[in-house]
Structures are given as structure tokens and as C-alpha cells.
Amino acid sequence: MRHGKKINHLGRTNTHRKAMLSNMATSLILHKRITTTIAKAKSLRIFVEPLINRSKVDSTHNRRTVFSYLQHKEAVTELFREISVKIADRPGGYTRILKTGHRLGDNADMCIIELVDYNNLMLATKEAKTEKIGRTRRGKKKVSDEVAPPKAVKAEAAVAPEVTETKEAEQE
């Protein structure tokens, strides 16, 4: 009976599944974002989050444990040097899964799995939201100085068309 055995086998043998998850975790750590199916992404999240959590404490034992899962020196170095610094104060939830639709060939549900602290687009919108705090939807009355341009600007605007007209006449 399979009581309590809820692992998704992903249609692969045990060794193939472990190798695939190891390769996907290495790609995720090195590239910070990968595109895959939703089922693989959910399995990858379960596989990679304990490794990222282990990288918070940089010890020889933790490095060797992570290396036994990943089998990739550069990925382990990247994880312990750069990623662990960014996620040091985060209690969990190091990855984000964003659904992107269906794959054209076989209609599989596709998604992007990424490391949370490395999405520059979402971080920029979060900063913009914090800047907008305190503003209302109603517009403020405009000051008359802002509406009318200064006299110096009017004078420059009047001179500029004459200069361009004389240059065009010289070219003809």
C-alpha cells in the first residue's frame, strides 16, 4: 500500500528523477530563473528550498551535504557566497512559481520558477509602491507658475525656429 507516500514520480525512475532535480536545481541557482512545467517546478521547490536553507550557515559539513545533492562545484559556491547573503533574514519561501500558460506542442502547463530576491522587475514595483504611499487619487490645484512657462523659455523657443529655417535655406 502507498499510505503517506505522496511524492510525484514525474514518470521517471528514482535515479532519473534525482538527477533531473539536481540538474534543475543547479540551473536555478546559476541562472536565478528557469522555465519548466508546473509539476516539475513544485517538485523542484521541495528539492531546492532545504538546500538554500542549509546555505545560511557556511560550514564544511553544510557545503558537503549540498554538494552531495547538486554535484556541481560552481553552483555550491554561488549558493553559499551570493544567494545566502541575500536570503539571510528570510525565514523561508525562497522560490516563486509564476504560471505562464500552456506549451504549444503538448499543452502542458508551463511556469517560471525563480529565486524571490533576484526578480528585479518585482523588486522595482515594490519600491515604487512604497514611494507612492501618502498620495491621494485627487489631483492638487496647479500653481500658476507651473502652468505658464518662464519668459526666458519663451524667448528661446522664439529664436530656435529661425535658426533651423536659416540652416535649411543654406542646405538648399
**pLDDT tens column, 61-102:** 999 999 999 999 999 999 999 999 999 999 999 999 999 999
- Report d(CA 99, CA 162) in Å as an integer: 57
Give the DSSP H or E segment for 114: strand 109-115
Order of all β-strands in the sheet with 109-115: 33-37, 109-115, 95-102
Across the range 129-155, mean pLDDT stands at: 61
**Does the pLDDT at position 154 exceed 60?**
no
In percent, the amount of the chain with pLDDT more than 70 equals 77
The rounded mean pLDDT for the chain is 85
User: Residue 144 pLDDT > 60, yes or no?
Assistant: no
pTM above 0.75, yes or no: no
Could you give phi then psi for residue 98, rounded to 5 degrees?
-115, 120
Please state the rounded mean pLDDT for residues 145-153.
Answer: 54
Q: Does the domain formed by 14-120 have CATH 3.90.1030.10?
A: yes
